[in-house]
Structure 1
């Protein structure tokens, strides 16, 4: 509603399977080759994303891929198959390490990077790989790749003019949702803050096309199209100082996204937690990343570089989470 339909469907939505097609215990850990804990933690969270793993395990992408150079989907396919089919306890994530600088030009091997930044760059690289020569398509069509259908959604920004009550809607694609946690002690409180209307006035006035002048208005974001996999970043790091907000932010195993949707009435839109990426340390310039993931056997594991240890869901729910991964 309110958005143009796609001109082309790049991947059939009915082929995306949200439940694991193969059930097994957790795969291999990932060896740290020097400040690569952020890299390892993100890769493990992606590896245990059921619809992505199902597709990559099928090797369907590489069989049809015609890209001559860097293809992040082919690389992730190699990586996920290696990790989940490994007979050893830990492997070097060589296929991804080799293309580290292609994932993000600003990344430097051996330097601690931000896990959220690496996740965004990796998912964007996968999206570019799926688009291939179709990158000039309309936004709606670009959102029909398997990557965008898994991780992507659309936000609606609705501005209401206080003078004439005119409503102006715009839509923005997203692959994850960064949430401010300064005033929030829980994920649901942070989501409430996210959808709370903001007043536009003073220097921040809105140029109303109907009034033809700058006016006071309200602006509100809502999730317009919900993703199959919701990735949330709890913004723990100060952009300027790199200092960290270390407070407890509670998050549930099951999340109903319905109250934060443009269409807030209706059936609950339930998500289940399957991965938690944690940062321990006092700033983004150091510390350590690890994660908790739910394997295809339904059990939770703490994955800390080469270490993969069975844990209970209660432990996974009591972490100083930085990234949260929920699946419908």
Structure 2
């Protein structure tokens, strides 16, 4: 089944070339079913790239999904045109009375800032609070995961000695959780961050459980025991070239970044990186949509207010 997106969203052309079934709003209006309502709070600078990455993963189920995008109006987006935001994104004030089956909160390249110094922190806190009563299940990614753990559980991030970047092997710790159904014992996933969250702090939160982690990269996936929130520290949504693009971007800035670990064959930047995490990415997002959202969300989303 397709994902439903605004008719002229540029990401549609990319997805159609990949033979991904995308349905525009006009066609979807004629289908007499209750699709899942998914909201994506896109905090990444290059929003169009993140749109493609996430829509690609959300399309990999037999469910019909209505996807909407949200941006922070308290932040000046320098890498995305105002026209794109006005056409395809909502401000929070426009959707705050609506209800959603699922919410995805992306990462953002601001992890070195204290949360309170982020220019849209006040607005994001309002969205976090709103999600408790207007969203059935929320999937947080990287900085979005750290921010969510800080807001909902008072778990702070800590600064790493150097940027963690590369592809790392992870162990599934709780295969009985439905979001990890079908996973092998180990899987690969990208990380790209300057900060982390301590396992010992997660252990103090009685409603959280560590679901997957890496000996090298640390925590990867944390779940709320009621399936209403998940926190992924890595970037399974990344494309093959994303870490390479970030590496070259940092070089141009004069940062002298570390070479992403386990990424370039023979550590040779002229060689094409191997793509070995998209199977896990597709499975994780499909499981989230199917087990955490579709099979549990109320048909009448206004019943979320009764929880």
Please state which band the TM-score falls in when normalised by the shorter chain.
Answer: under 0.3
Q: TM-score, normalized by length of structure 1?
A: 0.26
Which structure carries more relative contact order (alpha carbon 8 Å, separation 6+)? 1
Name whichever structure is richer in helix by fraction. Answer: 2
Larger radius of gyration: 1
Q: TM-score, normalized by length of structure 2?
A: 0.27
